[in-house]
Structure 1
């Protein structure tokens, strides 16, 4: 299906190497996962395979064709779904499907059955007349996938198709892709979700444009036998213990997993001394995951504390409840995007909003930030009512949007300068804030590059830096780690945890349920209603099993919800 020999791709006058002497062959059938840290070359490789970029050197055949010489023949055999939503936002869902059917020369007599199947899978059947630009982020991804499949290809290239997609839809996506494979279609799936990599038949791991692993997921995890453990029964803050452990040489990686800490150790011997440090807790072996092996190959998590840990605590008169939502409701015509949403969040708490795509999370989020006026109900930030004192309320919060919302044509440094000015920073305080953000988020090497061309992980770092420029009391993060690699995700959460401990109240939306384990409390929104609220452990109990993962609890609670106006269990 694909034959690559000594493939190299360089960009610009500086000859920056995006792909460095890659060689591999892919046979027909199966799903090949393409993973790696941000900037590793995954998107560049897919675009070269699709014939959208020319190679600098090397040999390449895709479906028997040279993409540079036989582009038209190749495109008749191949479909490509780009990372960035590339459809027409001023066309409806159905108009986009018809456009792609026209481009693929799919006859009108064959369209209806194909459209019906795709709309049923994506859940877009009731949204055919809605403009693509009005869809949620996850629904846009689903529409992009549907358009790439209007005609059955031999080879399907998917560039992070599940970014911004909820756990239920991700499972549906995988079922559909597996069916495509059974029909003889080859799939290359680039992903930042490493639990997805475990579902692949083969995985290629890229780092700095080179392949550092090529084989089955099981082969990837072999070196970690007897090195992965659960630290069970901790009587201390899991977030704080994890932060302390990650500064030690013998700890390669660690994450919160349910009520436990999941740790990857440098060797088996390190487990003996570690088990003695926490009275009442115990260390038990657990099966290594692909993500454990990925972090191990890339040198593990950063062994340093967040610079935000050094900041003085935010001390305000209102050290109790900082955020209040009282029966917030937003209707668009007759459609209720959010209805009677109520909750309270205290100083320094990390509160997660989770739910399926289109459930009303982002709508609630935008009302809480003062970006969307509610139809009814009210909200307050740090004692300021968003309806009566919007300027004062906004001055106390920082906001990081789901979609990269900075200025693509300005450099990284110019974006920081602009937002420092927006937040009223001047003189030396402005320069100090910018320097602090550049150092904290490791932006020095890209400071003069335009924000629109830097890798996704760096874009997310820049967006968070701009939101924190003025040290807000409240930080709203709308899917801050969507699409970023596990190392960057851990870095983000080290900053979030440090800010929380220093008094910053954090509200975060996420589709990554392992990430939601870091929250003190979680609100689950479905069909515009808050259907469950509590700690991650309480949501699992509410779903019926304290031993299930949070993702399993999410699926259970959403799929069994009924009688929504009364479904306010917590």
Structure 2
């Protein structure tokens, strides 16, 4: 470690990669930063900002093209092995061995890191206690929920005690309960072991827990400082507006977002719309925009400052956010039926295990319906049954007016599907992917060309770009375009914003709002609880059962307080549900 207490010192750091077409991509471009010892340091920024490249250089896995990089006082370019001997690094896709048990994975990583046998017992005990995996040491890693896999990945990363821990978006794809547990573990390590941690994250509430935050954009540092200092950028500019009765918060948000001259950003939260006023906005113009909607000041948050920085950069680059417009599915057929989905007593078993237990709900045409739950709650199984990808064990399931037991193929022709993981062909161009999937949906010749061109224009895609090389936010745009080619009546979105930054999430939801306004029904799963506020209604599942069903406000009230944020409501409802089903002490000891 340096004498001045810095774990990482980068000066003029640069890393380039070859871009499609023979160009050069500056992944990290003249970055200078210092991360202090014994602290949590956050790297935040939109897709393609350079966060992962920077972490991989710190880990000695990529060699800088220019500049200097010292990690723990060591020149990482000259002696990467010396750095790797003293750090632990958890990439986004940590490699667990799914056929091995929890304990066998820990043993394997201890062998790989050369952890002495006399140190393992104590280290394993501490990691298993911190991650609450001590009860599951014999369970195969492949049978763990997503949140438990992330905790096991962190435990395997920490089988030795490092001087520096590097975490690349450790909470992507995990629910709020698991996210809270992960950060509790990280904070405990920092407090108890004085561990230095550098983490990249798409969650601004996670970055707000860090001592230092570096905001990256297109390989450069836009700003840096502690969360309090960064929040000052938004002081006096943040407000909460209450939508009129009967007006969804997302509709007010869309109106505010579309008025870029007056509003920097807007997002539904707690039944209101939180927005940031443009510093130079005319008060009278803002009042006209709000049209008498009640609004009042609110405390600024780190995400407000982050969005201001990104919007300012966007304006300087003359790159406006994608304008979805209401015409994406304007030709979606009108239907006499008011219900798009009917679920009655739905059950799905895998052998002796019941993944979904007697679930019932209805979804109206044009409704945005959120299906939420912890990892392993049964929502993915429910989702797959709704899409016709998995048959139900019992119960009644109707989609687009068709019974999935008797007309599954016809029902599939009326739905669109966007998966969490990019499921298109990476070696094909954007246009080739859209033409292929359009053909699979039965589109031909003129109709196919018309829809492909419309989707390319709608989502502002480069038709010649190689799909596999697109940034995460653009991959999601392409996946959405492919799912909407045949103008479906119902669109299923499986964690579509997992791992993408707040700026990309705003643009994505602006598109979803426009789709719902044309009558398309949206069914979505998400781990970003703020996104539940966009939904007309949500269902929260755990252990295969529905714990809550209603509007976001009704769900918050069920959690005990209509004014709390959805993260807190989600955690409260799941913990209440688990407390009701937990055996009493006498039963547990029987």
TM-score of the alignment, normalized to the shorter chain, above 0.5: yes
The aligned residue for residue 3 of structure 2 is none
Residue 450 (structure 1) shift: 4.2
Determine the structure 2 residue equivalent to 1:93: 102
Partner residue of 1:477 out of 481, 487, 493: 493
* Cα distance change, pair 338–122 in 1 and its aligned pair in 2 (3 A): farther
CA contact (8 A) 1:318 1:383 kept: no
Distance 1:49 1:472 in 2: 46
2:115 — aligned with what? Answer: 106
Runs (5+) with no aligned partner, structure 2? 1-6, 315-319, 583-590
- Equivalent residues, number: 563
2:273 to 234, 257, 261: 261
Question: Contact 2:60 / 2:81 at 8 angstroms: preserved in 1?
Answer: no
Q: Distance in 1 between matches of 2:131 and 2:381?
A: 21
Task: Tell me the residue number matched to 1:347.
Answer: 365
Counterparts of 1:165 and 1:142, CA distance in 2: 10
Question: After superposition, where does 1:166-185 map in structure 2 within 5 Å?
Answer: 166-182=175-191, 183-185=193-195
The offset of 1:270, in angstroms, is 3.7
Aligned CA distance change for structure 1 residues 526 and 461 (closer, same or farther; 3 Å) = same
Q: Is the 8 A contact 2:438 2:486 kept in 1?
A: yes
Structure 1 counterpart of 2:394, from 376, 398, 405:
376
Tell me the distance in 2 between the aligned counterparts of 1:454 and 1:340: 41
Query: Cα distance, 1:264 vs. partner?
Result: 0.4
Deviates more, 1:404-413 or 1:241-250: 404-413
Alpha-carbon distance between aligned partners in 2 of 1:38 and 1:250, rounded to the nearest angstrom: 26
- The counterpart of 2:208, out of the listed 175, 184, 198, is 198
Q: State the partner residue of 1:237.
A: 248
Q: How many angstroms does 1:66 deviate by? A: 2.4
8 Å CA contact 2:262, 2:285 repeated in 1:
no
Pick from 9, 17, 20 the counterpart of residue 11 of structure 1: 17
2:456 equivalent in structure 1: 438
Aligned: 1:223 with 2:254: no
CA-CA distance at 1:329 after TM superposition: 1.8
**Deviation for aligned residue 1:317:** 3.0
Map of 2:306 onto structure 1? 294
- Change in 2 beyond 3 A, CA 1:518/1:278: same
Aligned-residue offset at 1:48: 0.9
The DSSP-based 3-state class of the residue aligned with 2:42 is strand
* 1:179-230: CA deviation from partner (whole Å, max 9, x where unpaired): 1112121111100011111111000000110001111111112121111111
Distance 1:179 1:563, change over 3 A: closer
Unmatched segments (≥5 aa) in structure 1:
566-570
CA RMSD in angstroms comes to 2.2
Matched, 1:468 2:484: yes
The CA distance in 2 between the partners of 1:456 and 1:269, in whole Å, is 33
Distance 1:144 1:456, change over 3 A: farther
Partners of 1:224 and 1:48 in 2: how far apart? 33
Give, in angstroms, the shift of residue 418 of structure 1: 2.1
Q: Distance in 2 between matches of 1:108 and 1:287?
A: 52
Aligned-residue offset at 1:113: 4.4
Q: What is the alpha-carbon distance in structure 2 between the residues aligned to residue 394 and residue 417 of structure 1?
A: 19
CA deviation after TM superposition for structure 1 residue 134, in Å: 4.8
CA separation of 1:417 and 1:96: change in aligned 2, threshold 3 A: farther
